[in-house]
A and B are shown apart, each in its own frame.
Chain A
Amino acid sequence: MSFQVQSQDFIARSKDALADAPLQSALGKLRTGLSVRRREAVAALPEFDALREEAAALRDYTLATLDQQLETFEAQVRARGGEVHWAPDAASARAIILELCQRYGAKKVLKGKSMVTEELELNEHLEAHGLRCVETDLGEYIVQLRRERPSHIVAPAIHLRKEDVAESFAAHHVGREHADRSTAEALMAEAREELRAHFLSAEVGITGANFAIAETGSTVIVTNEGNGDLTQSLPKVHIAVTGIEKVVPTLEDASTLLRVLARSATGQEASVYTTFSTGPRRPEDPDGPEAYHVVLVDNGRSAMLGTEFEAMLRCIRCGACLNHCPVYGQVGGHAYGSVYPGPMGAVLTPQLAGLDESVHLPTASTFCGACEAVCPVKIPLPSLLRRWRQRAHEARLDGDRARWLLRLWAFFAARPRLYHPLLSAATTVLGRLAGPGGTFRRLLGGKAWTESRNFPAPEGGSFLASLQGEEFAPTPRKAPSR
């Protein structure tokens, strides 16, 4: 499998994350920051729900006509002097991009923020072939310095506190012994200065694309820092790398999606920079790259078309489902062991890496539904997670003990004549053992519950076993005055 994950270790990783005090303090930002801002932005736009409806329908239409949209896109890019490359899998995408870098004699590559290139592990590949990759998005720059992976698809360094960033800068930036690193602004300024030299010396800029517009052959990126812009306009070559599902038919469609994207991601009405790239620089253009390439990456995506997981391809990577997921909020992105964490990652990762590598991800959800409630393209995430659980069950990946207990339960539940007397006897015994209002600190076979919780004792007996009769007449009480 070309998509490497460490999701098998979810339990150990999640425990480490819960015990990691700096991480826990950093994760506080999600609850007080991004999700609050989204709520305010949505409250300020009464038609937001209608817009989500429209966005979902638009994504569905695009997926239904994906071949045609992609062909139009390719033709439009060509007509404007750019090149389109098709990468069926990660290995071919890496090879294409490396070949392009070599074709242009690149030694240094600027990177804009892009989850697809994370999925491809592109930096490692290019660096193994002697190229220097410099991440220009502040968050990506920080995680690159620390040799970590992004922990969030929109906010890569959300797992870090300001102090952690200051420490990394102190360790890596030479000749800045006296830099003030006490505020986020100072850190940002320092990163900008460090990056400046790279901007002018890189031959190739690689960005992702939030959308690829078929009718104009443009790729669009939205950022809040502006470094993404420089990444695609300063070097003489711009390579935009994107998943095949990111295409949209028209400019107007892109603007509909941009409206829900910014609000969902960060609670902004629009991101600070929305930049369109259309072909290489024309003679009359003041700036822009001399060559423009788009790499369209499949890597398991087209295999989702027409399956029960197709709706996942609507995803516009806004990150709202991560920001609102209570599990993500406790353990952070790295616990998932996948480039794509949180609810969207728990649906995508089994597709990209295989279910046997990632069976915890769809299981580690309470199905609370907060993700589906905020998703701007209305992906039924819990129901997709449940489908992965069904596949895990069919493939016997869900553990013998769990299967056995479930079977046993179902055996009794299907046989009321056994079930009711047994339930009543068991709860009577437990109730007597504990006494009224009693509680258990330990239960035989119940360690997973009682290691960190008491088990409040059953009252004793069961409701149905104690009931006399089956039909009960009304007993209306005169309504008291309100």
Chain B
Amino acid sequence: MRVALLVSCLVDGLRPSIGAAALALLREAGCTVRVPRQQTCCGQPAWNSGDRPTAQALAQKVLEDFADVEAVVVPSGSCAGMVRQLPEVLGPEHPRFADAEALASRCFEITDFLVNQCDFTPAPLGAGQTLTYHDSCAGLRELGVKSAPRMLLERAGYTLAEMTQAETCCGFGGTFCVKYPAVSVAMADEKLASARATGAPLVTGGDLGCLIHLAGREERAGAGLAFRHVLELLVPTPAPALGEGRP
């Protein structure tokens, strides 16, 4: 299958390892992968801030960057959810509404794509390692991604220790985390307490935004959890985990 990788701006700028892992995994799964070099940001910050004209401008750019692809695959539930909303961003009167609908229907969160479109089994890298999975809200509730990342981790040999609060929002919420930092970190603290209670040393998830927010809070608290995007665990990743940093 020919697919295009929508890298997402956070992965592109903050953690290229995830982009590299996404590319490697899709190729391993038998896909021909195009990575449009002109891509930047899907416009979600503007859309969620109520700036629809800006969101529409960036939406059109996404439509151009990803024209004529069989599928768009995204290593982020949040950005994949945004692509699914592009028709709403443009609105039914917009001349490119039909294109937006077509793209939305061909857009996949990557773990969902690897499991349900490719029936992919990753290399066995996880033997003897226990981790806990944080369901990001957009992946879980907008896209229904729940079992796919867990299946990939289990196929790779990891042991999952589930949090009681796996499905509760971590408090990142895009611009929410800097507009309401006190509430945002209070939510993080609850999530982190739930993660620590599992006894697993590593938290993983499908959205880098959540993980940076959680890792940053955990580091500030001087506590010991480490964080990796789920894709980093499915290919050998030399970069240190988030949260393993010096205080």
A437 nearest in chain B by CB position: B240
- Nearest CB of chain A from residue B5's CB, rounded to whole Å: 9
Cβ contact within 8 Å between A464 and B52: no
- Answer yes or no: B45 CB below 8 A from chain A CBs: yes
Cβ contact within 8 Å between B186 and A463: no
- Answer yes or no: B36 CB below 8 A from chain A CBs: yes
Which A residues are in CB contact (< 8 Å) with B29?
A: 474, 476
Bound Cα distance from A391 to B51, whole angstroms: 9
Contact pattern, A 126-168, Cβ under 8 Å of B = 1, otherwise 0: 0000000000000000000000000000000000000000000
Cβ contact within 8 Å between A471 and B220: no
Bound Cα distance from A474 to B120, whole angstroms: 13
The count of chain B contact residues (Cβ–Cβ below 8 Å) is: 89
B14 nearest in chain A by CB position: A458
Cβ contact within 8 Å between A368 and B137: yes
Which A residues are in CB contact (< 8 Å) with B123?
A: 477, 480
Bound Cα distance from A479 to B124, whole angstroms: 10
Cβ contact within 8 Å between A453 and B185: yes
Cβ contact within 8 Å between B46 and A368: no
- Answer yes or no: A72 CB below 8 A from chain B CBs: no
- Answer yes or no: A390 CB below 8 A from chain B CBs: yes
Contact pattern, A 51-77, Cβ under 8 Å of B = 1, otherwise 0: 000000000000000000000000000
Bound Cα distance from A420 to B65, whole angstroms: 15
- Answer yes or no: B141 CB below 8 A from chain A CBs: yes
- Nearest CB of chain B from residue A406's CB, rounded to whole Å: 6
Cβ contact within 8 Å between B245 and A410: no
Say which one of B53-61, B94-102, B106-114, B196-204 lies at the interface with A. Answer: B53-61
Contact pattern, B 163-207, Cβ under 8 Å of A = 1, otherwise 0: 000011101111111111111111110100000000000000000
| A-B contact number at CB 8 A | 242
Cβ contact within 8 Å between A439 and B247: yes
Cβ contact within 8 Å between B245 and A439: yes
- Answer yes or no: A182 CB below 8 A from chain B CBs: no
Cβ contact within 8 Å between B30 and A476: yes
- Answer yes or no: A456 CB below 8 A from chain B CBs: yes
Contact with A437, one of B137, B175, B245 (Cβ below 8 angstroms): B245
Which B residues are in CB contact (< 8 Å) with A462?
A: 12-13, 16
- Answer yes or no: A414 CB below 8 A from chain B CBs: yes
Contact with B35, one of A423, A439, A441, A472 (Cβ below 8 angstroms): A472
- Contacts A467-B37, A480-B124 given: A475-B171 contact, CB under 8 Å? no
- Nearest CB of chain A from residue B113's CB, rounded to whole Å: 14
Give the contacts of A411-456 with B (CB-CB under 8 A).
Answer: 412-414, 416, 419-420, 423, 426-427, 434-439, 441, 448-449, 451-456
- Answer yes or no: A246 CB below 8 A from chain B CBs: no
Bound Cα distance from A448 to B178, whole angstroms: 5
- Answer yes or no: A398 CB below 8 A from chain B CBs: yes
B9 nearest in chain A by CB position: A413
B169 nearest in chain A by CB position: A368
Residues of B within 8 A of A (CB): 7, 9, 11-20, 23-24, 27-41, 43, 45-52, 54, 57-58, 61, 88, 121, 123-124, 137-138, 141-142, 155, 167-169, 171-188, 190, 212-213, 215-217, 219-220, 239-247
Residues of A within 8 A of B (CB): 11, 14-15, 18, 326-327, 330-331, 363-370, 372-373, 383, 386, 388-394, 398, 402-403, 406-407, 409-410, 412-414, 416, 419-420, 423, 426-427, 434-439, 441, 448-449, 451-459, 461-464, 466-467, 470-477, 479-480, 482
30 A-B residue pairs with CB within 8 Å = A15-B182, A330-B187, A365-B173, A367-B48, A368-B137, A368-B169, A370-B141, A372-B141, A390-B50, A390-B51, A390-B52, A393-B51, A394-B50, A406-B49, A406-B51, A413-B41, A420-B37, A437-B239, A437-B245, A437-B246, A439-B245, A456-B243, A458-B13, A462-B13, A463-B12, A464-B7, A474-B31, A475-B24, A476-B28, A480-B123
Task: Report the 8 A-B pairs with minimum CB-CB distance, sorted nearest first.
Answer: A366-B173, A389-B50, A463-B19, A437-B240, A439-B245, A368-B169, A453-B216, A393-B50
